[in-house]
């Protein structure tokens, strides 16, 4: 199959759909890869590296879309890209169609087969193509918090690790899923005192096992959240209720009771945020202060580390991408988890939750939902 990798055009997006290492895997299996000139620049992969891996580098995105049968991207396609897609294309990328009817209509009109990373599943009931970005975000959350705690960044002037004789910061993590556990790895690694507030008992057992007592777990109740945020120097919001807006665990009235100069990092901001006072920010202007508490609510935290994020994403997408390249849409008949990634096909919505959110009929061409 001919696989195309256009340069990402969403503002502030520097990740790339395939790294040169991934290109080599496709090429070795007999596929052709066409990459738009400069597609990897933001993540540190030159055109020369892609050529060395066996890709053909083409000058424009139009060339790539015209040549390729499958387009591998990172972010949802932008309006100019909807127009380049046709019913010959498989589109493999993050889509997030449910809250985005304009994009959904653009893709439906194109007739393409849109496979969304975020709805591909695994045997454990997880979302394997979302997890790598949660790992990156959880880890970034802690050193962003550490930076923000410093005086010149608006924080209380605390070094997150402490020094001998001076205690470290207390970091409270709300939600101990992928983001929360990765934040805990970093915070504990820096020497912080860490407590994870979680509502899943099996998850708390798992965290207790892996951290061997280094991290405190606490069952999530209103009382527990209130007690922990008042003791914390840093609160990291990492809760997720699948398919729903994040619950508002920290309310405006809590802020004036928290330590002045403490830091809230709301990783759940992409689901609306779990602090009532959260609003999305960018890497250029990441923080703002409400009632003396500094808020960090960057909606695309992995975007700060495009090199690491591209590599981690490709490791997760590569096995699925290769199946699609080998077998085309036939791969969906063999792999139910991949079939659950299909959101649109030939002008129809093929994912039940997306169809419901958009108020459109749902069709199940590969029996993935039967």
- What is the set of active-site residues? 96, 270
Interface residue with ligand NAD among 64, 149, 158, 197 (CB under 6 A) is 197
Burial class (CB in 10 A: 0-12, 13-18, 19+), 332: buried
Interface residue with ligand NAD among 60, 86, 241, 256 (CB under 6 A) is 241
**Of 70, 14, 28, which Cα lies nearest the Cα of 321?**
70
We find the least distance from the C-beta atom of residue 182 to ligand NAD, in angstroms, to be: 8
- From 101-109, 156-164, 263-271, 324-332, give the range in contact with ligand NAD by CB under 6 A: 263-271
We find the least distance from the C-beta atom of residue 177 to ligand NAD, in angstroms, to be: 2
**Of 150, 145, 140, 146, which Cα lies nearest the Cα of 161?**
146
Using rule CB under 6 A, residue 269 touches ligand NAD: yes
We find the least distance from the C-beta atom of residue 331 to ligand NAD, in angstroms, to be: 25
Helical (H) or strand (E) element with 148: helix 131-148
- Which residue lies nearer to ligand NAD by CB, 166 or 222? 222
Strands 342-345 and 348-349, how do they pair? antiparallel
We find the least distance from the C-beta atom of residue 149 to ligand NAD, in angstroms, to be: 19
Interface residue with ligand NAD among 247, 306, 321, 341 (CB under 6 A) is 247
Which residues fall within 8 angstroms of residue 299, CB to CB, at 6 or more apart? Answer: 269, 270, 280, 281, 282
- Which residue lies nearer to ligand NAD by CB, 262 or 271? 271
We find the least distance from the C-beta atom of residue 243 to ligand NAD, in angstroms, to be: 11
- Which residue lies nearer to ligand NAD by CB, 52 or 205? 205
Exposure letters 209-222 (e unless 16+ CB within 10 A, then b): eebeeebbbbebee
- Which residue lies nearer to ligand NAD by CB, 133 or 358? 133
Residue number of the CB atom closest to ligand NAD? 177
Asked whether the CA dihedral 197, 203, 208, 211 is positive or negative, the reply is negative
Binding residue count for ligand NAD, defined by CB under 6 A: 32
Phi (first) and psi of residue 174, to 5 degrees: -95, 110
Looking up tokens 């069952």 gives 219
- Please report, as residue ranges, which positions from 6 to 65 form the binding site for ligand NAD (by CB under 6 A): none
**Of 353, 243, 321, which Cα lies nearest the Cα of 4?**
321
Using rule CB under 6 A, residue 333 touches ligand NAD: no
Interface residue with ligand NAD among 8, 81, 198, 228 (CB under 6 A) is 198
We find the least distance from the C-beta atom of residue 46 to ligand NAD, in angstroms, to be: 27
How far lies 284's CA from each of 172, 301, 328, in Å? 25, 12, 40
Q: How far apart are CA 289 and CA 292, in angstroms?
A: 6
- Which residue lies nearer to ligand NAD by CB, 29 or 283? 283
We find the least distance from the C-beta atom of residue 247 to ligand NAD, in angstroms, to be: 5
Q: State the CB neighbour count (10 A cutoff) for residue 251.
A: 12
Using rule CB under 6 A, residue 305 touches ligand NAD: no
Interface residue with ligand NAD among 300, 335, 343, 350 (CB under 6 A) is 300
Q: How far apart are CA 22 and CA 16, in angstroms?
A: 11
- Please report, as residue ranges, which positions from 93 to 152 form the binding site for ligand NAD (by CB under 6 A): 133-134, 137
**Of 61, 56, 59, which Cα lies nearest the Cα of 85?**
61
What mask, x for binding ligand NAD by CB under 6 A, covers residues 154 to 193?
--------------------xxxxxxx-------------
Q: State the CB neighbour count (10 A cutoff) for residue 77.
A: 27
- Please report, as residue ranges, which positions from 219 to 238 form the binding site for ligand NAD (by CB under 6 A): 220, 238
Which positions touch ligand NAD (CB under 6 A)?
133-134, 137, 174-180, 197-200, 203, 220, 238-241, 246-247, 249, 267-271, 299-302
């Amino acid at each position: 199959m001919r696989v195309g990798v256009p340069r990402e055009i969403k503002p502030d997006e520097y990740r790339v759909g395939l790294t040169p290492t991934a290109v080599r895997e496709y090429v070795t299996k007999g596929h052709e890869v066409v990459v738009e000139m400069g597609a990897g620049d933001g993540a540190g992969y030159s055109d020369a590296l892609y050529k060395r891996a066996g890709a053909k580098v083409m000058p424009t995105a139009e060339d790539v879309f015209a040549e390729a049968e499958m387009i591998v991207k990172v972010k949802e396609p932008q309006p100019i890209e909807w127009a380049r897609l046709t019913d010959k294309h498989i589109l493999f990328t993050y889509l997030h169609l449910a809250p985005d009817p304009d994009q959904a209509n653009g893709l439906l009109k194109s007739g393409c087969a849109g496979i969304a990373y975020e709805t591909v599943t695994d045997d454990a009931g997880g979302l394997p193509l979302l997890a790598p970005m949660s790992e990156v975000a959880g880890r970034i959350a802690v050193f962003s918090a550490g930076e923000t705690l410093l005086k010149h960044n608006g924080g209380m002037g605390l070094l997150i690790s402490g020094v001998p004789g001076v205690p470290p910061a207390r970091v409270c993590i709300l939600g101990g899923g992928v983001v929360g556990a990765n934040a805990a790895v970093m915070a504990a690694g820096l020497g912080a005192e860490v407590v994870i507030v979680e509502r899943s008992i099996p998850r708390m057992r798992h965290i207790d096992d892996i951290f061997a007592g280094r991290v405190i777990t606490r069952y999530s109740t209103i009382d527990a959240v209130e007690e922990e945020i008042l003791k914390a120097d840093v609160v990291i919001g990492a809760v997720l209720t699948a398919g729903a807006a994040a619950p508002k665990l920290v309310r405006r009235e809590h802020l004036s009771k928290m330590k002045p100069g403490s830091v809230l990092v709301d990783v759940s901001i992409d689901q609306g945020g779990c602090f009532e006072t959260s609003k999305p920010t960018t890497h250029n202007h990441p923080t703002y202060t409400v009632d003396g508490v500094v808020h960090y609510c960057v909606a695309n935290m992995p975007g700060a580390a495009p090199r690491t994020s591209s590599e981690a994403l490709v490791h997760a997408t590569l096995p699925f991408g290769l199946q699609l390249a080998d077998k085309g849409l036939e791969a969906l008949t063999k792999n139910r988890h991949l079939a659950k990634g299909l959101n649109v096909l030939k002008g129809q919505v093929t994912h039940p939750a997306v169809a419901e959110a958009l108020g459109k009929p749902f069709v199940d061409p590969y029996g993935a939902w039967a």
